[in-house]
Amino acid sequence: MSDGIPVLSLFSGAGGLDLAVERADAEPLVPSDPGTRLAHVAVATDYNSPALETLAKNFPRTHSINGDIRTLDSADLLGAANLKSGEPVLVVGGPPCTPFSKSGFWLEQKRESRDPNASLLDEYVRVVKDTRPEGFILENVQGLTYKTHKAQFDRLLKSMTELGYNPQWKVLLAADYGVPQLRRRVFVVGRRDGLAFEFPRPTHSGWSEHTRVFDTSLIPHVTAAQAFEGLESPATNDEYVAGRYGELASEVPPGGNYLWHTARNAGRDEFEWRSRYWTFLLRLDPNRPSSTLQAQPGPYVGPFHWENMRTPEGDQRARRLRVNELLRLMSFPDDFDVPDRKVDTQRQLGNAVPLELGKAVARALLTQLGYIRPVADTRARILVSN
């Protein structure tokens, strides 16, 4: 097992969950620690070729397949990994979240859960059925658990139960595991032996938009300012928010949004109360984790940095987050190789699983499967040899 225990990755994107699995035994909250390479993503597949190009740069040992999962035979997937059914230790992946995301609820087909991409959950089940891994990890947006998508979610759980995997699911907040981002995602995890998976306990806590009650005995949430410590990067003229809204955004205080410019607050009376989505003109609060990074934000959708910058004309404007800041908010290593175009980086990171959140789930599963020995005060010890 010189290459590490084998993992099959579906809907891989740029490789956030893949990186988490390969670094499952790395020191928590140390993005630069690669671990002992206990696990190895043998093959990864996605329909998005730019994302797979990013994955290839960061996972040179992984064989990647670019194509539609609906036309990919499981035997071909196993063959590319040089594996037989029953040999993969894990199948991991996050089917595209678009059908279940709140951002698409203005479309009738999404409100009624008729998006054809929802069938990709069934493709995930098919691959698990055909490859018979020891365990699986499926990640998606919290919206998958909403009543609107109950039929699809129940079918997923029923199918995995019928395969003997006893699936367990839970919505996890990334900030509760050391990620400087208030990002909620649902994880569905199952074991081939039928034992119930136990989710990892939070290591951090703090208040969020959902609750003001939290466990003060845990480590406080990592703030955006803490995440950006030590970063140095030159400003560029194309990163400020232009136009009238850029001027308004520059006046919004840290942690605020367009509501600052309503009759109820001290800014300009420009907008009706709750007339926009809350991320409109949103600024980071340096003393709080970031809000969720979006894959395809509009030009005036935040979060923007709490600091302003000057335009070539000398005007104050809000500034967009830089690539190294996006990496930090995703708890990715600073040297993660991203696309040259900022828009591609934003899309790929916005669709990815934050590293520390993924590590926590993968570490818990590999520990419960017997591949990692839990040690309370030091790095987990490996039970199998690489």
CB-side neighbour CA atoms (13 Å) of 61 = 14
Instruction: Put residue 67 in one of left, alpha, beta given phi > 0 → left and psi -120 to 50 → alpha.
Output: left
Query: Is 344 noted as a catalytic residue in this protein?
Result: no
**Rounded CA separation 227/31 (Å):** 11
Cβ 178 vs Cβ 331: under 8 Å: yes
- What is the distance of C-alpha 130 from the center of its chain? 26
What φ, ψ does residue 46 adopt, rounded to 5°? -165, 155
Cβ 321 vs Cβ 292: under 8 Å: no
Cβ 158 vs Cβ 188: under 8 Å: no
Name the strand (E) or helix (H) holding 258: none
In this structure, is the dihedral angle defined by the CA atoms of residues 116, 75, 11 and 186, taken in order, positive or negative? positive
The candidate with the shortest Cα–Cα distance to 151, out of 124, 122, 130, is 122
Residue of 20, 77, 97, 160 with catalytic role: 97
* Catalytic residue set: 97
